A and B are shown apart, each in its own frame.
Chain A
Amino acid sequence: MNKYLQLSEVCIDFPTPKGPFRALDKVSLNIAQGEFVSLIGHSGCGKSTVLNIVAGLHQATSGGVLLEDREVNAPGPERAVVFQNHSLLPWLSAYQNVELAVKQVFRRTKSKAEMRDWIIHNLELVHMTHAMDKRPDEISGGMKQRVGIARALAMEPKVLLMDEPFGALDALTRAHLQDSLMEIHADLGNTVIMITHDVDEAVLLSDRIVMMTNGPAATIGEILQIDLARPRKRVELAGDARYNHFRKEVLAFLYERQRKVEDIGAQKRAPQAASSTRVPLAKQA
């Protein structure tokens, strides 16, 4: 198997007042070029931490990450991140947000006109050219997320890292963006790691689903290969026996093998925080 991106025995300890807190323990994973991998697991298990280590925003305490056999130890545009809450610069328009990234990555290789075309091309990919002169506070949540994706794609990353890119969106918008993402992935063949809480989303989009155990010292519990033919159509798959089998596998992992017992108490104390993660799963179950 092609080892484009390798995580080998990644462990991380966060310093806390009570001593080091081991968030991840020996996470090992190989990802092939062009592969679409989802990370799924209960809230707080360490999914974002894995992504941030690949991004270079966190440093592993032991173990490490190799991209094309070179060690990752700092953030960089070849590992573009789509952040959980869009993270657009609020004082720049959609166009300017993408422009900032494009200028930084291509300032030596593209002319002004080429950069402009490239920015518009990427905004077109996410169907945002009609609102490219609007600022983030003038566009909807789904549109912001799309601009965030355009910004990441415009860096022409080797690996696209997405932290719950559609988590905060309503079901219709989410479905629409999932379709766009599948199209883009089919066209460009990016290597993608996506964090999600949504079982349907994971099965629909991924080549593999990586299921993480609960923290502390979380690690990879199981890996599920999704060999459904592409292009995938959500409506057709809804009645597909294999699709439903994969869904059931993931649900069984999350709710039987990795049930979060203490979460029920936490849910009562913090209904807001818990519901954001639980409702989508409950709907599907």
Chain B
Amino acid sequence: MKSITLLSISQNPGRLLPTADQLMRLGRGLILPLVGIFLFLFLWANAAKMIDTSLGQFPGPGQVWEQAANLAAEHQQERQREQDFIARQDVRNAQILTANPQAHVEIRPYTGKPTFLDQVGTSLFTVLSGFILASLIAIPLGILIGLNESAYAAVNPLIQLFKPVSPLAWLPLVTMVVSAVYVSQDPAFSKSFLISMFTVLLCCLWPTVINTAVGVANVSKDLLNVSQVLRLGALPHVFKIIVPASLPLMFTGLRLSLGIAWMVLIAAEMLAQSPGLGKFVWDEFQNGSSNSLGRIMVAVLAIGFIGFLLDRAMLLLQQKVSWDKNAILR
């Protein structure tokens, strides 16, 4: 076997060497982005040396990398402490119970400081909750106003009015309303979570509403004629013709919405002091140690990277449900 493969290779030496075309593609796909990243790191490192702040020199790539490692280590320490705490508690409770089987033992949850990774998790959960809730409102609303011109005429001024509102303007109102309305003895969600989530929701509704409405209003006349000739009822008309036909634009809207949701969330958490990446950044800023700037920079990069991943995830979902496999999605 081996000799045969060797033989075929030696007969075909040209096939082992990449062609010029393949090299070009490799260059565009891998080498050029790497060049870009290295250039950025180089400029960053040099610029950082020239900036002195009250918290020390601006962190370069090296310090930021160090802080990232620190944050990961802190996360692990914190987890370790939690396990130790639970183990100690279990041992103590077991001792009490052996001494007196009727004794009432308490199981207290561990209340450590949330680590960077915990904050990332909180932020992701909040943003996805807000985004999904917003989509559940925005898609039906978009379909309605796309189908019905009177509904569009009625709703459009409101959309135009609320679309440009910054999350910071909503935040105080949302805070007050949530505090007033959400009063429960045993809350399932914390108030801070609800405040950030509703702020996200209010800000990320609009791209999905608008794009869905445009997609629905522009469904080709031919497909509408088909539906009419078949005498499809209202619901089959929407689900069999309108929704699939407007899916591409709907997804454009959803991706824009998710991007906005992520941006808004960070601002909302920062301002509302609700747990998450935004609060992490703010706390580090207030903390003002010599490591703070490096740690904030880690958060900045993490925010960017997570935003990128969220967009990729939406893109994958879009490719999965899209019927037009030839469409170039980016």
* Interface set of A (CB-CB < 8 Å, partner B): 55-57, 74-77, 79-81, 83, 85, 87, 89-91, 100-101, 104-105, 135, 137, 155
Is the Cβ of A89 less than 8 Å from the Cβ of B228? no
**Chain A nearest CB, measured from B248 CB (Å):** 11
Is the Cβ of A76 less than 8 Å from the Cβ of B324? no
Is the Cβ of A75 less than 8 Å from the Cβ of B231? yes
Is the Cβ of B232 less than 8 Å from the Cβ of A104? yes
> Please, which residue of chain B has its CB at the minimum distance from the CB of A80?
B229
**Chain A nearest CB, measured from B193 CB (Å):** 38
A-B contact pairs, 6 of them (CB 8 A): A77-B231, A80-B229, A89-B223, A90-B323, A104-B231, A104-B236
**Measured CA separation A75–B325 after assembly (Å):** 32
Asked if B244 CB lies within 8 Å of chain A CBs, one says yes
Considering only residues 240-258 of chain B, those with a C-beta below 8 Å from chain A are 240-241, 244-245
**Chain A nearest CB, measured from B184 CB (Å):** 45
> Please, which residue of chain B has its CB at the minimum distance from the CB of A79?
B229
> Please, which residue of chain A has its CB at the minimum distance from the CB of B325?
A137
Partner of A75, one of B229, B244, B245, B323: B229
Asked if B326 CB lies within 8 Å of chain A CBs, one says yes
**Measured CA separation A91–B231 after assembly (Å):** 20
Count of interface residues, chain B, beta-carbon cutoff 8 Å = 18
Asked if B225 CB lies within 8 Å of chain A CBs, one says yes
Is the Cβ of A87 less than 8 Å from the Cβ of B223? yes
CB contacts (< 8 Å) of B103 on chain A: these are none
Q: A83-B222, A137-B324, A137-B326 are in contact. Are A89 and B231 (CB under 8 A)?
A: no
> Please, which residue of chain B has its CB at the minimum distance from the CB of A138?
B325
CB contacts (< 8 Å) of A155 on chain B: these are 230
Given contacts A75-B228, A105-B230, 12 further A-B contacts (CB under 8 A): A57-B228, A57-B229, A74-B231, A76-B229, A76-B231, A79-B229, A83-B222, A87-B223, A87-B226, A89-B226, A101-B230, A104-B232
Partner of A85, one of B222, B228, B244, B323: B222
**Measured CA separation A56–B240 after assembly (Å):** 22
> Please, which residue of chain A has its CB at the minimum distance from the CB of B231?
A76
Chain A's interface: helix, strand, loop or mixed, by majority? loop
**Chain B nearest CB, measured from A190 CB (Å):** 16
**Measured CA separation A105–B240 after assembly (Å):** 15
**Measured CA separation A83–B225 after assembly (Å):** 9
CB contacts (< 8 Å) of B244 on chain A: these are 89, 91
* Interface set of B (CB-CB < 8 Å, partner A): 222-223, 225-226, 228-232, 236, 240-241, 244-245, 323-326
CB contacts (< 8 Å) of A100 on chain B: these are 230, 240
Which of B222, B223, B241, B244 lies at the interface centre, i.e. has the most chain A CB atoms within 10 A of its CB? B222
**Chain B nearest CB, measured from A168 CB (Å):** 13
CB contacts (< 8 Å) of A83 on chain B: these are 222, 225-226
**Chain A nearest CB, measured from B279 CB (Å):** 44
> Please, which residue of chain B has its CB at the minimum distance from the CB of A88?
B226
Q: A75-B231, A77-B231, A101-B230 are in contact. Are A87 and B225 (CB under 8 A)?
A: yes
CB contacts (< 8 Å) of B324 on chain A: these are 90-91, 137
> Please, which residue of chain B has its CB at the minimum distance from the CB of A161?
B229
Is the Cβ of B225 less than 8 Å from the Cβ of A57? yes
Is the Cβ of A89 less than 8 Å from the Cβ of B241? yes
CB contacts (< 8 Å) of B222 on chain A: these are 83, 85, 87
Partner of A104, one of B223, B225, B230: B230
CB contacts (< 8 Å) of A56 on chain B: these are 228
> Please, which residue of chain B has its CB at the minimum distance from the CB of A90?
B323
> Please, which residue of chain B has its CB at the minimum distance from the CB of A86?
B222
**Measured CA separation A155–B228 after assembly (Å):** 13
CB contacts (< 8 Å) of B232 on chain A: these are 104
CB contacts (< 8 Å) of B323 on chain A: these are 90-91, 135
Which of B236, B323, B325 lies at the interface centre, i.e. has the most chain A CB atoms within 10 A of its CB? B323
**Chain A nearest CB, measured from B315 CB (Å):** 19
CB contacts (< 8 Å) of A137 on chain B: these are 324-326
**Chain A nearest CB, measured from B200 CB (Å):** 31
**Measured CA separation A57–B231 after assembly (Å):** 11
**Measured CA separation A85–B221 after assembly (Å):** 11
CB contacts (< 8 Å) of A135 on chain B: these are 323
**Chain B nearest CB, measured from A83 CB (Å):** 6
Is the Cβ of A77 less than 8 Å from the Cβ of B229? yes
CB contacts (< 8 Å) of B229 on chain A: these are 55, 57, 75-77, 79-81
**Chain A nearest CB, measured from B129 CB (Å):** 30
